């Protein structure tokens, strides 16, 4: 798949983001490949767990903004990023994530839909949606306040404050913080453990844990996409993206 590597290890499917020269920034093609890998794993009865990780020195720098600007969401029935988010959010099978280095934007919010999350001690979580003139996605406007409290979520979303791996663990966003050389082996071992459990019981337990807030997640997934699609046409977002490409500080005082 090029920049998305998919490997089968017994009953575990391993999906790796592999664009290290760009800090694993995600393009539309990469989102489609990620979605396809998750969807195929879900459809394969022999697959019992999914492992999501990345190669290089970062999990992901988030969206590739140049690619993002070339492919506006307007006019797309299901933008590739939305397809990926819905594939992970709707997955019935357990997903284990292993993150390190930069964990930006969707790289952070998608973890809210994973069942086990392990972070290297060098992981740096950032959610700079407001800085781009848009709002968070992946139903994170519901799930993050639910997990860590509204005020802490506001600090991460509204101020864009970076979050260390240790702080993320203390807040409950990740299960454990590990040395980088132990990250993938630990996450892979957890995925294998899940794959060895009674599959029916695992699926039922995951479904029950999600059921209490599923309606709110569905609402948020749809509303966030609608707001983001609108915000992408706004002067604020145009200024943010232009400033990024021109390597300058954006000026929002005019809006």
What's the pLDDT tens digit per position in 10-53? 999 999 999 999 999 999 999 999 999 999 999 999 999 999 99
Q: What is the pLDDT of residues 233-245, one digit of tens each?
A: 999 999 998 998 8
Q: What's the confidence (pLDDT) of residue 76?
A: 80
Q: What is the pLDDT of residues 172-212, one digit of tens each?
A: 999 999 999 999 999 999 999 999 999 999 999 999 999 99
The half-sphere exposure of 251 on its side-chain side, counting CA atoms within 13 A, is 4
Q: What is the pLDDT of residues 158-169, one digit of tens each?
A: 999 999 999 999
Domains and CATH numbers, the chain: 4-180 (3.90.226.10)
Q: What's the confidence (pLDDT) of residue 228?
A: 94
- Give yes or no for residue 57 having a pLDDT over 80: yes
- Place 252 in a pLDDT band, splitting at 50, 70 and 90: very high
Q: What is the pLDDT of residues 113-162, one digit of tens each?
A: 999 999 999 999 999 999 999 999 999 999 999 999 999 999 999 999 99
Q: What is the pLDDT of residues 202-229, one digit of tens each?
A: 999 999 999 999 999 999 999 999 999 9
The gap from C-alpha 131 to its chain's centroid, in whole angstroms, comes to 18
Residue of 140, 108, 144, 136 whose CA lies nearest to 124 = 108
- Place 1 in a pLDDT band, splitting at 50, 70 and 90: low
Query: Is the Cα dihedral 8, 9, 13, 18 positive or negative?
Result: negative
- Lowest average pLDDT, out of 56-65, 75-84, 167-176, 178-187, goes to 75-84
Measure the CA–CA gap between 82 and 105, rounded to whole angstroms: 13
Q: What's the confidence (pLDDT) of residue 145?
A: 98
The gap from C-alpha 185 to its chain's centroid, in whole angstroms, comes to 21
């Amino acid at each position: 798949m090029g920049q998305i590597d998919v490997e089968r290890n017994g009953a575990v499917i391993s999906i790796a983001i592999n664009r290290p020269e760009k800090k694993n920034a995600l393009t539309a093609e990469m989102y489609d490949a990620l979605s396809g890998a998750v969807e195929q794993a879900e459809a394969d009865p022999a697959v019992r767990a999914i492992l999501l990780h990345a190669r290089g020195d970062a999990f992901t720098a988030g969206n590739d903004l140049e690619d993002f600007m070339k492919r506006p969401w307007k006019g797309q029935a299901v933008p590739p990023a939305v397809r990926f988010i819905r594939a992970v959010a709707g997955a019935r099978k357990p997903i284990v994530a292993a993150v390190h280095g930069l964990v930006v934007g969707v790289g952070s919010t998608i973890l809210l839909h994973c069942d086990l999350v392990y972070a290297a001690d060098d992981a740096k979580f950032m959610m700079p949606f407001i800085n781009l003139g848009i709002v968070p996605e992946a139903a994170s406007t519901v799930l993050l306040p639910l997990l860590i409290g509204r005020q802490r979520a506001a600090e991460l979303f509204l101020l864009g404050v970076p979050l260390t791996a240790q702080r993320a663990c203390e807040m409950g966003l990740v299960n454990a913080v590990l040395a980088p050389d132990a990250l993938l082996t630990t996450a892979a071992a957890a995925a294998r453990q899940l794959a060895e459990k009674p599959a029916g019981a695992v699926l039922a337990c995951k479904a029950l844990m999600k059921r209490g807030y599923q309606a709110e997640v569905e609402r948020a997934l749809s509303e966030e996409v609608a707001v983001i699609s609108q915000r992408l046409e706004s002067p604020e977002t145009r200024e943010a993206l232009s400033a990024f490409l021109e390597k300058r500080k954006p000026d929002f005082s005019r809006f």
